[in-house]
A = this chain, B = another copy of it.
């Protein structure tokens, strides 16, 4: 066994995205103790920065010590008690996962199913909320499996109007499009580090409202999960009473998140969102010039996750394989009912640059041409260049 030297890769799949050298450098700083005063100061800065990027000034914000799915698990396992009714909007793989975890938490799950590629429908969610006494609504803001964006504010308002709490999955949205926990009135939002924050996977930023904390405090029994018990986690991350020992924080991963948050705040949230949108418009123009179609209707598209329909007669896996082999470029495959039918192209964080857009269009049109699809590289690049304006 030898030291692992990763191959050169350009990450334009559904995550992880490219991690910038400054974040990689932060990961490698010497490990210190999790009870060290210097580390406690770092934790405070991370909490403040998370509140800023999640627009959650009144929420308690902490990064959970595990990948994005930990946020989903923690939200549902802490808020749901056996027998509670949960309305779960399912419009892709991650809504499906929410429904599964809610069922494991013992909830009566009222699913609101959608065709994959559509945003969540407020009308049908509203009807489901009114159909019974409901503890919470859960839905995905940015469906990574399809590239559809749902309108979080009105959905949270519907829940609130019915006396239900709201959980919003922001794994793929945070940093790439507006996330506004306070403005939406969302009770719990969570994200991942390996999408538009461009840190490595392994942590789940998590924000919880006062109402959600009160609901957790009022549980008849503690949640089954000990590691993600919010009462214990919040005690560890410090409140009025100081810190209580719980798990050992993943020190170096938190160095990386801290640096990624600094980078995002230096750029500014609005500037980051504008950059993601501009790269998406350029990529979409190039794809369309190459005769390709996106899965999602224009109004509902996520800039950072572009689901592209595989043309008839094209072997999608062979195309991805060629892009990886010849261009070191990774894009994603479809999941579930979209397996074999779409590619997923991420423009997330450090992977949302004009260079990435051009490289991806070059690699994809080359892979298509290798399968006797008409060569469209010039047209695609020209269309993208027109949008990039440089």
- Cross-chain contact B38 with A201 (CB below 8 angstroms): no
Q: Which of A19-27, A113-121, A382-390 contacts B (4 or more CB under 8 A)?
A: A19-27
| Other-chain contact of A33, B5, B30, B262, B330 (Cβ < 8 Å) | B330
Do A66 and B32 contact each other (CB < 8 Å), given the known contacts A200-B250, A248-B194, A256-B252? no
- Cross-chain contact B30 with A28 (CB below 8 angstroms): no
Q: Which of A1-42 contact B (CB under 8 A)?
A: 1-9, 11, 13, 15-16, 18-19, 22, 24-36, 38-39, 42
Do A201 and B251 contact each other (CB < 8 Å), given the known contacts A19-B30, A30-B24, A31-B16? yes
How many angstroms from the CA of A70 to the CA of B255 in the assembled complex?
21
Which residues of chain B are within 8 angstroms of A13 by Cβ–Cβ distance?
33, 35
Nearest chain-B residue to A97 (Cβ)? B226
- Cross-chain contact A104 with B202 (CB below 8 angstroms): no
Give how many copies assemble into the complex.
2
Nearest chain-B residue to A41 (Cβ)? B4
Nearest chain-B residue to A246 (Cβ)? B69
Q: What's the minimum C-beta distance from A359 to chain B, rounded to whole angstroms? A: 16
How many angstroms from the CA of A4 to the CA of B65 in the assembled complex?
19
| Other-chain contact of A104, B106, B224, B247 (Cβ < 8 Å) | B224
Which residues of chain B are within 8 angstroms of A227 by Cβ–Cβ distance?
66-67, 69-70, 73
A100 touches B (CB below 8 Å): yes
- Cross-chain contact A31 with B18 (CB below 8 angstroms): yes
Nearest chain-B residue to A52 (Cβ)? B1
- Cross-chain contact A33 with B4 (CB below 8 angstroms): no
Q: Which of A224-270 contact B (CB under 8 A)?
A: 224-227, 245-253, 255-256, 258-259, 261-262, 265
- Cross-chain contact B1 with A49 (CB below 8 angstroms): yes
How many angstroms from the CA of A1 to the CA of B31 in the assembled complex?
20
Interface size of A as a range: 35 or more
Which residues of chain B are within 8 angstroms of A48 by Cβ–Cβ distance?
1
Which residues of chain B are within 8 angstroms of A67 by Cβ–Cβ distance?
65, 227, 247-250
A338 touches B (CB below 8 Å): no
- Cross-chain contact A225 with B104 (CB below 8 angstroms): yes
Main SS at interface, chain A: loop
Which residues of chain B are within 8 angstroms of A31 by Cβ–Cβ distance?
6, 11, 16, 18-19, 24, 194, 200-201
Nearest chain-B residue to A251 (Cβ)? B200
How many angstroms from the CA of A16 to the CA of B33 in the assembled complex?
6
Q: What's the minimum C-beta distance from A69 to chain B, rounded to whole angstroms? A: 4
A45 touches B (CB below 8 Å): yes
Which residues of chain B are within 8 angstroms of A252 by Cβ–Cβ distance?
19, 24, 27, 200, 202, 253, 256
- Cross-chain contact B226 with A225 (CB below 8 angstroms): no
- Cross-chain contact A6 with B38 (CB below 8 angstroms): yes
Which residues of chain B are within 8 angstroms of A104 by Cβ–Cβ distance?
222-226
In the assembled complex, 22 residue pairs joining A and B whose CB atoms fall closer than 8 Å, in A order, are A1-B262, A3-B26, A3-B259, A3-B262, A4-B29, A6-B31, A6-B39, A6-B255, A11-B31, A16-B34, A65-B66, A66-B70, A67-B247, A69-B246, A69-B248, A73-B225, A73-B227, A100-B226, A224-B225, A245-B335, A250-B250, A250-B253
